[in-house]
Amino acid sequence: MNFAQRISRRRLYIAGSTIAVLIASLFLFQRTAGAATSEGAVCDTDAHQTFSLTAGDGYASTPDGNSIYMWSYANSSRSFQLPGPTLCVTSGQPVTVVLHNTLPEPTSIVFPGQKGVKANGNPAQPQFDGGGSLLSMVQAAAAQNGSVTYTFTAGSPGTYLYESGTDVNKQVQMGMYGALIVRPAGHETQVNDRSDSAFAPGKEYVFLLSEVDPDVHLAVERSQPIDWSKYTARYFMINGRSMPDTLAPNNASWLPTQPYGALVHIKPYDSVTNPLPATIRYLNAGTVNYPFHPHGSDERVINRDGKALQGSNGEDLSYQKYDLDVGPGQTLDVLMDWRDVEHWNASTNPIPTQIPAVTDQLLVGPDTWFSESGYLGTKNPLPPNITSNNECGEYYHVAHSHALEQATNYGATFGGMMTVFRIDPPDGCAA
């Protein structure tokens, strides 16, 4: 049985672990997953921008062995998933979303940032009962096989949440949310209409951030009342997964209801061979701010809530930021690259790097995540009993919520809202 199969059964309970153990799990995920693994954004697309979603229930697993009852949206031709499918559309083009509801109560979808949304041909608007109490922010699909059709014209290019507009506190907490990516017409690899928002093909990532209070989910599963006064989030997720599952590839077989990974994989900036950055799309489906950042690099914020950061005359108002404070319901689009390549070139800029004796180094069992060199792409010899997991001298940098309770699995550290950025050498990496 290989490591990935063992992880699918036991899943690494990381309480008390060191950061080296966390990183070691990444290398083994990467090596056992094989060449057929996928990473980055996974889009649901349609030539007519028409989507059929089904609201239903299922279970999501956590790295400490828990299984949590969830609600979510799924493509009607597929099974339950968390979060809902990432819908990718083109700005200025009509969009149709048909919602089918199999849940035991009414549910709906709101599309924040989209204008002129209609439900079954009528303006989407709040619904009230005979006594004036709010039932839903928009027209809903009735419980047990009801349906409703939403239409709108895709707005400005950028990233948006879609989520339930019915019994919002409960249903969004249960998992009723997903990402909507609106692309500029004719510019599939730009974040917005500005040419300086271009990103490298295949280097697009979605970080849909959320939280789970398992007591709420257990109450819903048992049809019991929810005591919101005791609400306490215990799990924190990126794309419906908690660390170390965030490192697993898209559609990992041991995570059948959580299809989206969160590993960012880039190479250093080079004006000739790698001139374009990656883009990361941050969305907050939770109740509090998520201060998220990668170690070792800033990110350039270019969009907020689907709007390009520019002045009235088109001047660039984007900015570099190390720690991104993503508020509830907010989205941020960033460009991310890795600079200062020359500093890490051992042949042209051989800055001495003092490596401690092997007996003083932290080695994880028979494996190490350090190539014994401070230079990207360079490896020094290792003792014969030690296996190096970064086989071409690549770097791995942790990225996580800086509210450290959000980087835990039910209080166990080095979990939760955390992932890793992989930086390959300039010449690439075959591993």
Mean pLDDT by 10 residues, the chain (431 residues): 37 40 48 56 97 98 97 98 98 98 98 98 96 96 97 98 98 98 97 97 97 98 97 98 96 96 92 92 97 92 98 96 96 92 75 71 66 81 77 88 95 94 84 48
The angle formed by the CA atoms of residues 105, 99 and 97, to the nearest 5 degrees, is 150
β-bridge partners, 183: 90
The pair of three-digit structure tokens given for residue 126, joined into one six-digit string: 């709040």
pTM reported for the whole predicted model? 0.90
The answer to whether residues 177 and 161 touch, using CB atoms and an 8 Å cutoff, is: yes
Neighbours of 320 (CB within 10 A): 11
Helix axes 3-10, 19-33, angle to 10 degrees: 120
Would you say how long the chain is, in residues? 431
- Rounded Cα–Cα distance for residues 181 and 214 (Å): 29
Residues 6+ apart with CB under 8 A from 68: 59, 60, 61, 62, 212, 214, 217, 235
> Which residue shows structure tokens 């968390």?
82
Identify the sign of the CA torsion 396, 399, 405, 408: negative
Q: What is the pLDDT of residue 361?
A: 67
Q: Are 108 and 165 in contact (CB under 8 A)?
A: yes
Strand 395-401's sheet: what is its strand order? Answer: 264-266, 418-423, 395-401, 290-294, 324-326
- Which CA distances in Å does 105 have to 2, 57, 60, 71, 101? 43, 12, 21, 11, 8
Report pLDDT for 196. 97
Cβ atoms 68, 59 nearer than 8 A: yes
User: What are residue 308's DSSP bridge partners?
Assistant: 303
pLDDT of residue 362: 61
Residue type, 38: S
3-state secondary structure the chain: CCHHHHHHHHCCCCCCCCHHHHHHHHHHHHHHHCCCCCCCCCEECCCCCEEEEEEEEEEEECCCCCEEEEEEEEECCCCCCCCCCEEEEECCCEEEEEEEECCCCCECCECCCCCCCEECCEECCCEECCCCCEEECCCCECCCCEEEEEEEECCCCEEEEEECCCCHHHHHHHCCEEEEEEECCCCCCECCCCHHHECCCCCEEEEEEEEECHHHHHHHHCCCCCCHHHCCCCEEEECCECECHHHCCCCCCCCCCCCCCCCEEECECECCCECCCEEEEEEECCCCCEEEEECCCCEEEEEECCEECECCCCCECCEEECCEEECCCCEEEEEECECCCHHHCCCCCCCCCCCCCHHHCCCECCEECCCCCCCCCCCCCCCCCCEECCCCCCEEEEEEECCHHHHEECCEECCECEEEEEECCCCCCCC
> What confidence score (pLDDT) does residue 132 get?
93
Q: Nearest CA to 82 among 206, 187, 197, 208?
A: 208
Positive or negative CA dihedral for 371, 377, 379, 385? positive
**How many Cβ atoms are within 10 Å of 167's Cβ, its own excluded?**
20
Partners of 61 in beta bridges:
67
pLDDT for the residue numbered 143 = 97
407 close to 417: Cβ distance less than 8 angstroms: yes
Token output for 427: 């010449």
The per-residue pLDDT for 1 is 38
